[in-house]
Amino acid sequence: MTKIKFEDFVLSHEISLAIEQMGFEEPTPIQAQTIPLLLKGKDLIGQAQTGTGKTAAFGIPIIEKIQPGHKETQALVLCPTRELAIQVAEEFAELLKHKKQIHVIPIYGGQPIGRQMQALHKGAQIIIATPGRLIDHLERKTVNLSNVKMIVLDEADEMIDMGFRDDIEKILRNTPKEKQTIFFSATMSKPILELTKRYLKNPEYVKVHHKEMTVPSISQYYIEISQGMKLEVLSRLIDLHDPKLSLVFCNTKRTVDSLVSHLHARGYLAEGLHGDMNQNQRDKTMSKFRTGKMDILVATDVAARGIDVEEIDAVFNYDMPQDEEYYVHRIGRTARVGRPGKAFTFTVGKEIYKLRDIERFTKSKVIRKLIPSPEDVEEKKAINLIERIKSSVGNKKDLSKYEHIIEKLLNEDFSTIEIACGLLKMLMKSESAQEIVPVVSETEQKWSRDKFKSSSKGVHNRFKNKYKRR
């Protein structure tokens, strides 16, 4: 089946550029099915859960149909809560980045109404509103809906459940009869069906439903985090759990490229995988990942399709997945063929509520984890070092050539504990120095490794020579 791309919609250059800069690779199912219908002016009932890309599904057609030269309100989006109204307005702002003379105003309770009145007086072609506050403005005659050409009810079932049915009908009656009306709702209750019959004309019906999905036996964790801490926490988790291979998921190509660059700067062997790469580049990257030439693959959902590598120990959701099914596909990359696997999801702010939807959808529990401290990471490194020392000590033959060095130190009244601590200090400092070497290419990665080996050998030689002279 051929995948639909945003280019297939024949969008304006400004919108296409905004979509590209937002990092979207291809439309979600709800976008693919609804955007063509809305661009044609059809009334529509869209049944889809939160987090499926609904905002862009109606936002793109609205913006494309706005006439910038006319300042009157031409489109209205109703949302059940102030939080959703703000979120929708922010996404419209991103889509409008390259469109001039189109203004969006969010109006909702909890914000001074005087400030909203001033903004409305200046004019806005698009209003994003909660029903209660919009009714206030209608009664004050500070909003004029007589020129509205499109109206969207986002999460209509939530608005009905919150008791906004009368307000919704009053608002709809204040708009022209000849307009495009769009309902988005997760469920189709009786009140929703009654409203659609009364106010929509020959609507198209689009339903995007989730398949019943469960996850395999994967240890699932989430960490509540601020956006600016993601890179640091990812680094600590990788150092703490030391996965042989790990897969990091981002929502956009731009984030993939940025994260790979930052991981390189911290000395990690990471590569990116996204839709801007040709097949040859993708094959080379996957080959390096499978053979262990690099151990961290940073990818978008689209690019990661078809990845089948058995030895992935951990999956990191650097960005919260846009869809519950994406979450299942992501974490399913680990714990293959009976192997154990871990999945870590970063949640920022209100994304925690989306995680609850994921738990209900997957019928599984995602356990809260605290951000690992630098001390946790150092302790884990020390444990790993002890295991390496035990392994080295186990090979008696290789140790004999170093005995005379230790004997010289013992003769100078150093205790065995002091000698061991000194050597550990040198080794851990050397390893810490290696971790922060910037690595930006495969050539420089090799150079970095060779230099470290040479440096370690040099330290050992200087150590021997020092005591030979004595």
Q: Give the pLDDT confidence of 59-98 residue by residue, as tens digits.
A: 999 999 999 888 899 999 999 988 889 989 999 999 999 9
Alpha-carbon distance of 115 to 429, in angstroms, equals 57
**Kind and range of the H or E element at 104?**
strand 104-107
Separation of first and last alpha carbons in the chain: 77
The reported pLDDT for the residue numbered 2 is 58
Pair (269, 360) in one structural domain: yes
Residue 444 has pLDDT above 70, yes or no: no
Last residue of a domain, one of 146, 180, 207: 207
Pair (355, 257) in one structural domain: yes
Highest mean pLDDT among 54-58, 309-313, 446-450: 54-58
Pair (161, 56) in one structural domain: yes
* Residue ranges making up the domain that contains 430: 396-469
Mean pLDDT over 195-208 rounds to 93
Alpha-carbon distance of 118 to 115, in angstroms, equals 5
Pair (69, 180) in one structural domain: yes
The helix/strand/coil state of 113 is helix
Alpha-carbon distance of 52 to 31, in angstroms, equals 8
Q: What is the pLDDT of residues 225-234, one digit of tens each?
A: 999 999 999 9
User: 62 versus 396: which is more confidently predicted?
Assistant: 62
The reported pLDDT for the residue numbered 206 is 93
The reported pLDDT for the residue numbered 439 is 36
C-alpha torsion 331→334→336→339, nearest 10: -130
Give me the half-sphere count of Cα atoms (radius 13 Å) on the Cβ side of residue 9. Answer: 25
The count of structural domains within the chain is 3
CB neighbours of 196 closer than 8 A, spacing ≥ 6? 45, 183, 203
Pair (351, 423) in one structural domain: no
Residue 135 has pLDDT above 90, yes or no: yes
Pair (420, 287) in one structural domain: no
Alpha-carbon distance of 144 to 134, in angstroms, equals 10
Pair (306, 425) in one structural domain: no
Alpha-carbon distance of 348 to 346, in angstroms, equals 7
Pair (163, 188) in one structural domain: yes
- Indicate which CATH number applies to the domain containing 363: 3.40.50.300
User: 344 versus 3: which is more confidently predicted?
Assistant: 344
Output the pTM of the full model.
0.61
H helices, E strands: number in the chain: 19, 14
Burial 213-226 (b: 16+ CB within 10 A, else e): eebeebebebbebe
Residue 203 within any structural domain of the chain: yes
Residue 214 within any structural domain of the chain: no
The reported pLDDT for the residue numbered 431 is 59
Q: Are 290 and 328 in contact (CB under 8 A)?
A: no
Pair (354, 420) in one structural domain: no
The helix/strand/coil state of 126 is strand
Strands (E), 243-300: 246-249, 270-273, 296-299
Residue 31 within any structural domain of the chain: yes
Mean pLDDT over 166-184 rounds to 95
Last residue of a domain, one of 151, 172, 207: 207
The pair of three-digit structure tokens given for residue 459, joined into one six-digit string = 């330290």
Q: Are 346 and 318 in contact (CB under 8 A)?
A: yes
Residue 152 has pLDDT above 80, yes or no: yes
- Burial status of residue 360 (CB atoms within 10 A of its CB: 0-12, 13-18, 19 or more): exposed
Q: What percent of the chain has pLDDT over 70?
A: 86
Residue 469 has pLDDT above 60, yes or no: no
Alpha-carbon distance of 99 to 108, in angstroms, equals 25
Residue 15 has pLDDT above 70, yes or no: yes
Residue 81 within any structural domain of the chain: yes
Q: What is the pLDDT of residues 255-308, one digit of tens each?
A: 999 999 999 999 999 999 987 888 788 889 988 998 889 999 999 987 777 677
Residue 383 within any structural domain of the chain: no
Cross-strand pairs, 212: none
Residue 236 has pLDDT above 90, yes or no: yes
Pair (66, 170) in one structural domain: yes
Confidence label for 397 from pLDDT (cuts 50, 70 and 90)? low
Last residue of a domain, one of 177, 207, 237: 207
Pair (404, 366) in one structural domain: no
Alpha-carbon distance of 156 to 27, in angstroms, equals 23
Pair (361, 404) in one structural domain: no
Confidence label for 360 from pLDDT (cuts 50, 70 and 90)? confident
Q: Are 286 and 307 in contact (CB under 8 A)?
A: yes
DSSP assignment of 134-159, as one string?
A: HHHHHHHT----TT--EEEETTHHHH
Q: Are 273 and 285 in contact (CB under 8 A)?
A: yes
Residue 247 has pLDDT above 80, yes or no: yes
Contacts 24+ apart (CB under 8 A), 186-189: 186/47, 186/48, 186/49, 186/50, 186/155, 186/157, 186/158, 187/47, 187/157, 188/45, 188/47, 188/157, 189/157, 189/160
The pair of three-digit structure tokens given for residue 402, joined into one six-digit string = 């170093």
Residue 378 within any structural domain of the chain: no
Token pair 């680990």 in the structure block, residue: 334
